[in-house]
Structure 1
Amino acid sequence: MTAIAKIKASVATPADRAGMIDWTAVADELASQGAAVMPALLTPEECREIAALYPDDKRFRSHVVMARHGFGKGEYKYFSYPLPDLIGGLRTSLYPRLAPIANEWNQRMGIDTRYPAEHQEFLALCHRAGQQRPTPLLLQYVPGDYNCLHQDLYGDLAFPLQVAILLSEPGRDFTGGEFVLTEQRPRMQTRPEVVPLRQGDAVVFAVHHRPVKGSRGSYRVNLRHGVSRIRSGRRHTVGVIFHDAK
């Protein structure tokens, strides 16, 4: 266990963990790359406990086999409400740190939408818009599986940032399976970014688009994310999406 993980293992609440993150560094990395790593957000034991939920269908509202929908190969399950305490707590605690970044991005891109300070306020807006189904999910990949490049948009309301936490250890539990982000700028070829993660690391990234400074002000670039082919072993990831779905 790393020194950071040892510290976080003794931290009682997700709010305390969120308070330990260098949010200035996260905002800077998001601004320059569209993604930022938050190391050791979960301990190895917590990662194993969350991954072990996968066979328990009572914890989930739906099960998606990617190949049936052209999403790639692999599968995932959407959690039901109430969410597991740790996942629900992180969703609630990370959102207020990310909302100012999202609002600043929208201002720069000329988008009128502004996000409330607290997650429950944002969920209330989602629910009034008919988006009432929880979106945090648990993904499972085995050899040959992959996730096609995509965007997680589930309705008219979509929070522009989301978080994925790697629950398995690269090189020990699986090989391959890198987190991949692509960025398409106007009149330019697509830029790929491979984000290295260890067990318990979280990556926060743009769901749809982000602002980039140009010679005439900021303009929007389009982003997609996915996972490269698993070569051996089994890979579990938990996705924390802040908007609910229709």
Structure 2
Amino acid sequence: MRPAASVVATAFAGVPAKARIEAYHWQTLTQELDGFGCAVLPKLLSPVECRAIAGLYPEEEHFRSHVHMARHGFGKGEYRYFKYPLPGLLDGLRTALYPRLVDVAIEWNERMAIDERYPAEHASFLKRCRDAGQARPTPLLLQYVPGDFNCLHQDLYGDLFFPIQVAILLSEPGTDFTGGEFVLTEQRPRMQSRAEVVPLRQGDAVAFAVHNRPVKGAKGNYRVNLRHGVSRVRSGMRHTVGIIFHDAK
């Protein structure tokens, strides 16, 4: 899924995060997110910005922890969680994306009869996380080499979570790596699971459901359970940055 008419078609090098986010056609993106559980924001980052963020990976001073997936049964590969303060562009994107996604999140919860609602601004939501004992930052930088993959999973991190998150591909498929497709699966009640392989290019972002989303059926809305992952990298090196809006315990 790669919408062409719904968003701007040029990279935003040097443009403030809020202006980038406002340039997208959010009515179309919201419809795609609601209909498929994911929506692509093409060229959110420029190639130069992608390389700069990926280049942070070996610089330990930017991160609070380093995870090797195989040690925990998460797959094969590794990632690092950023520490506060986040790099400026990532912090700006996290702040600017949240208000564009919060109405979808609230509507989903209403349709699924979930009581949780969310404040309009991200800073207020982070305060709610801190009050719930969740104060560790969750944005992360992932690195894969040949043979690496990420098992299907959900990034929840605590009782309080925001139901949508964003991943940005920092490497160029076919040039920097092969394989390594972003995969989203949807487990539907009394039905076989549905898989969505989301084609991304360098700098593209995908917004997607973290846990559940509502689907309208013959007898009203029902919940589907979603998981996401990355298929096996065949060659090269793949970097992705993940923007998760809730913090962790």
User: Identity over the aligned pairs, expressed in percent?
Assistant: 71
CA contact (8 A) 1:5 1:42 kept: no
2:171 to 168, 176, 201: 168
2:244 to 214, 221, 241: 241
CA contact (8 A) 2:34 2:104 kept: no
1:96 to 95, 99, 106: 99
State the TM-score, normalizing by the size of structure 2.
0.96
SS for the counterpart of 1:133 is coil
Deviation string 1:98-148 (CA, Å, 9 cap, x unpaired) is 000100111111111111000000000000000000000000000000000
Tell me how far apart the structure 2 counterparts of residues 32 and 131 of structure 1 sit (CA, whole Å). 31
SS for the counterpart of 1:188 is coil
* 1:10-159 map, 5 Å: 10-11=14-15, 13-159=16-162
Q: How many residues align?
A: 242
**Tell me, which stretches of 5 or more residues in structure 2 are unaligned?**
1-7
Deviation string 1:2-57 (CA, Å, 9 cap, x unpaired) is x8334x2252x100011011111111111111010000000000000000000000
2:13 to 9, 20, 32: 9
Alpha-carbon shift at residue 81 of structure 1 (Å): 0.1
Tell me how far apart the structure 1 counterparts of residues 30 and 222 of structure 2 sit (CA, whole Å). 18
Tell me how far apart the structure 2 counterparts of residues 93 and 10 of structure 1 sit (CA, whole Å). 15
Which residue pairs with 1:190 in the alignment?
193
Tell me how far apart the structure 2 counterparts of residues 9 and 90 of structure 1 sit (CA, whole Å). 13
**Could you tell me which amino acid in structure 1 is paired with residue 132 of structure 2?**
A
RMSD over aligned CA atoms reads 0.8
SS for the counterpart of 1:67 is helix
1:219 to 222, 232, 236: 222
**Could you tell me which amino acid in structure 2 is paired with residue 9 of structure 1?**
A
SS for the counterpart of 1:211 is strand
CA contact (8 A) 1:109 1:218 kept: yes
State the TM-score, normalizing by the size of structure 1.
0.97
Tell me how far apart the structure 2 counterparts of residues 113 and 238 of structure 1 sit (CA, whole Å). 27
Which residue pairs with 1:179 in the alignment?
182
Deviation string 1:178-208 (CA, Å, 9 cap, x unpaired) is 0000000000011111000000000000000
Tell me how far apart the structure 2 counterparts of residues 51 and 15 of structure 1 sit (CA, whole Å). 22
**Tell me, which stretches of 5 or more residues in structure 1 are unaligned?**
none
